[in-house]
Amino acid sequence: MAVRVLPTGTIGIPLNPTPAPEPPALEVEDDVPTLHLVGRSEQRLAQALFQTEAVDEPYSPDTVRALRLLAMDNLVDIIQLREVVQERDAEVAALTGEVDMWRARALDEHAERGVEQREAVRRERELVTVLHSELIRNETLSGELAWRRKPWFRRIGRR
């Protein structure tokens, strides 16, 4: 990943940008390990690597310092990510517990509603049966009362 370095003291995008010197072409050999820049410390490492001058030493103190800073930044990132993962795991566990509690509560309420509905149907049938028997009884008594009020029944009953 190529990173363009702005001159020191530049804030934001300059209005009249001065062309920044291009970093030297990277010669990658197959048998030499290559460092791929990842994370928020890319710019710091790229600046340190770009600002170092080519010398006979394989690693300059600036390069070593930049690599150490990169390693520390990566360690901080790893720690922060682990903390975030632990917080998420705790949150997921808490939410899963709540979901299980609500699911159990919903199942209990559903079962209770079924029992209540069956009980209501039984009571309704019982009330309809009682009401029907009372209607039949009232009809019978009304018929008997009407029969006794007839004028010819009075005459027969007095004899």
Model confidence over 63-105: pLDDT tens digits? 888 888 899 999 999 999 999 999 999 999 999 999 999 999 9
pLDDT tens-place string over residues 31-57: 655 555 444 555 555 655 565 555 556
For residues 37 and 46, the answer to whether their CB atoms sit within 8 Å is yes
Please report whether residue 63 resides in a domain: yes
Domain that holds residue 63: 42-148
Please report whether residue 15 resides in a domain: no
Please report whether residue 58 resides in a domain: yes
Please report whether residue 140 resides in a domain: yes
Please report whether residue 12 resides in a domain: no
Number of domains in the chain: 1
How far is CA 141 from each of CA 128, 138, 145, 147, 152, rounded to the nearest angstrom?
A: 20, 5, 6, 10, 19
Q: Give the C-alpha separation, 54 to 56, whole Å.
A: 7
Please report whether residue 127 resides in a domain: yes
Please report whether residue 9 resides in a domain: no
Please report whether residue 97 resides in a domain: yes
Of residues 7, 69, 6, the one with CA closest to residue 37: 69
